[in-house]
Amino acid sequence: MLQALFHAWERRLANATTDRVVRPFDWGLDWIPTGNGSRRAPAPSDVERPADVLAGWVSHVMRDTDAFFAPPPTADYTLTASRDSDVLTFPSALTTPHESNNTVYARFFPAKAVPSVPDTSMRSAAANDSPRAAVLVLPQWNADANGHVGLCRLLAWNGMAALRLSLPYHDERMPPELHRADYIVSANVARTVQVCRQAVLDARRAIAWLALRGYDRIGILGTSLGSCLALLTTAHEPLVRAQALNHISPYFADVVWRGISTRHVRDGMNGHIELDLLRALWRPISPRVYLDRVRDRRTLLVYARYDLSFPVDLSEDLVAAFREQQIPHEVAVLRCGHYSTGKTPFKYVDGWVLTRFLKRALLAERRN
């Protein structure tokens, strides 16, 4: 009965959004580089199938994902004070055809005084290290500019600075022709890989800024799409000590193929590509590929029991993979669905679970 009630609620919440657009399928060959170093690829020859061109590029990427997800260093950071939160801007490491998307925006929430904790050793560690604990927050797909701001404030109240990153093609980064962040998850295969890669490059530059400010206990928190991007970032960024992954799946393609939030993306793909091929071409942005690289980090896996956007069996598959590979992790299961996670009272439970984990991981341990 509970499942039926939550599934009906999830569908109502999903259908409340009426501005989704079914965009045409595209292999996105103009989003992959050529062998001579230029940013765009020419059209394939008559004897080369687009799927084969992309498969060759993906094979090349997977041979060295450290290089693929490595942003060149930059010192071009600007922090501007504002009434609600300071705003950090810096150039994205990946240049896209849309100028507005090439500047990264992040809202910074400095840590408040650390609340007292009962254990003396924990209190000492928190008091000594609280100015140097920070969390990079990656919101969900199509989050507006205020998405996760309440969570950032909660983190700050618990002694951890929070830096809330606007994902590519979101908020001020959205070009005029869009009213949703369609270019980061779409029926354009290569563009989806590259824009998700851009998000990871942006996240790593944001983490570099935190490190420049003296933060040496850095965590990352991602929700939904942000959860996937957070794990990709952790897998390639040695400065991340802990990751809180909120709504999870082992494969990027399967969520798009099966989730109710991405039905319009699937509609654009129908008749052009099958799931097995899509899963193979989206390997560079699939968490399952990188699990062995997060073995030395602290990980929280959160999923919702009645989720129709990140189907529950996918979430359970990722948890099982962590368990089978004996990768240290914690698990929390929310008694709600994907959209209802953002509703009262579930949003408070979710916020408490995420904050408690990060507080333990970043504040409650002595420095090694």
What's the structural domain count of the chain? Answer: 1
Return the pLDDT at 84. 77
| pLDDT per residue rounded down to tens, the chain (368 residues) | 789 999 999 999 999 988 899 999 999 999 998 653 444 444 555 457 999 999 999 999 999 999 999 999 999 999 999 877 899 999 999 999 999 999 999 999 999 865 444 444 334 344 444 459 999 999 999 998 889 999 999 999 999 999 999 999 999 999 999 999 999 999 999 999 999 999 999 999 999 999 999 999 999 999 999 999 999 999 999 999 999 999 999 999 999 999 999 999 999 999 999 999 999 999 999 999 999 999 999 999 999 999 999 999 999 999 999 999 999 999 999 999 999 999 999 999 999 999 999 999 999 854 44
Q: Are 221 and 135 in contact (CB under 8 A)?
A: yes
Phi, psi at 162, each rounded to 5°: -125, 135
Question: Could you tell me the residue range of the domain that residue 238 belongs to?
Answer: 2-17+24-35+47-362
- Residue 69, domain member (yes or no): yes
Query: CA nearest 336: which of 311, 304, 309, 313?
Result: 304
Alpha-carbon gap, residue 261 to 310, rounded angstroms: 9
Alpha-carbon gap, residue 139 to 165, rounded angstroms: 7
- Residue 59, domain member (yes or no): yes
Q: Are 56 and 80 in contact (CB under 8 A)?
A: no
Please give the structure tokens belonging to residue 266.
Answer: 């699937």
Q: Are 150 and 156 in contact (CB under 8 A)?
A: no
Return the pLDDT at 319. 98
- Residue 270, domain member (yes or no): yes
CATH of the domain at 68: 3.40.50.1820
Return the pLDDT at 44. 52
Q: How far apart are the first and last CA of the chain?
A: 49
Return the pLDDT at 35. 53
- Residue 122, domain member (yes or no): yes
- Residue 368, domain member (yes or no): no
